[in-house]
Amino acid sequence: MSALFSPITLRGLTLANRIAVSPMCQYSAVDGAATGWHLAHLGTLSASGAGLLVVEATAVEPAGRITHGDLGLYDDTTEDALARIVSHCRDHGSARLGIQLSHAGRKASAQRPWEGGRALGASEMPWTTIAPSAVAFGEGWHVPRAMEHADLERVKEAHMASARRAARLGFDLLELHAAHGYLLHQFLSGRANRRTDEYGGSIDNRMRFPLEVVRAVRKAWPRDRPLGVRMTGSDWVEGGIDLDEAVRFAHGLKAEGVDFVCVSSGGVTPTAAPRTGPGYQVALAKRVRDETDLAVRTVGLVTTPKQAERIVAAGDADMVALGRAFLDNPHWGWAAARVLSAEVERPVQYQRAADAVWPGAAYSDAD
């Protein structure tokens, strides 16, 4: 039996397999509201064979968007737009649905990647960014306003409000973004956090605000639904988070009722130099898993079914998340099931292409 295609239970949710579609920003929303692109994109991926589909980083307030095209969940308009997407995925897909809530902090007010990916210029409707400290992400980026205690409370409340909206929409799982150089990660990393109050300095102080957000969201999110955090295992830069600090943070998350973590890395500064390669973040995930006993998802250049199977079978991670592999093949889960001799649910309209009934399946990989 395939380890990758075995079920896993997180709190009150059982996933059919260990494959997750990673949250991937599409930069295609209008004023935070999902569009027809999201319907097509997420609708397809909900029937991809993955056990879990996580909706892209979704801003908890307008100023928390990375770009003008970022998805949001902070008012009735953005909630109603997502309701249409969720309904479609429920009707036609088999994946359980998660959503990742985020605030971009000092990396907000930026161009879409295909527009350059830099800070918005004066003629591009930029907005004021906030961060733990008035330290820009990099050269040419906006200098953020250092957050005051009123900002901390507002952002915490915004996370809670978005979590309640996500619960009302019927999402099965909620994930908070504390990686890739966004706001919660900025508090954690000494490269972005230069505060001298109770939210800066030691790792315990730098963890304080992210853990306060987690605690608040755990209270707002239904107790029977899992809560996770995408966290960083390493900043890959001097003065940033190392794996020892990451493990300490993961212990703190577990104490606050977090059910799983997705261990990523990098993104807090443009000068970071990760050592990339196939599965390059798996060792980070394994260390967190081994030392905390949390359920752990790994991500980053996991591309082939046999590679994913080895990771789960070896106990290096409990789940794998794939992003661009699903963009390349939106039915990656079907292909993985074929390679690993597993079963996966398909929409009834596509069942005639299943291995058992379509002779062409035996020749699909032939020359």
Nearest CA-CA partner of 96 in 222, 7, 199, 200: 7
Quote the strand ranges of the chain, DSSP E.
8-10, 13-15, 19-21, 52-59, 96-102, 130-131, 145-146, 173-178, 227-232, 260-264, 295-299, 319-322
Rounded (5°) CA angle 179-185-190: 130
> Across the strands, what pairs with 99?
55, 174
To the query of whether residue 199 is one of the catalytic residues in this protein, the response is: no
Query: By the 8 A CB rule, do 93 and 87 touch?
Result: no
Where on the phi/psi map is residue 31: left (φ > 0), alpha (ψ -120 to 50), or beta?
A: left
Place of tokens 């100023």: 63
Q: Which two tokens stand for residue 88?
A: 């479609």
Place of tokens 């918005």: 120
Residue 273 CB neighbours (<10 A): 8
Rg (CA), the chain: 20
Q: Which two tokens stand for residue 359?
A: 């002779």
Nearest CA-CA partner of 146 in 207, 102, 187, 101: 187
3-class secondary-structure state, position 171: coil
> Across the strands, what pairs with 204?
none
**Which residue in the list 182, 280, 350, 363 is annotated as catalytic?**
182
Which residues participate in catalysis according to the annotation? 182
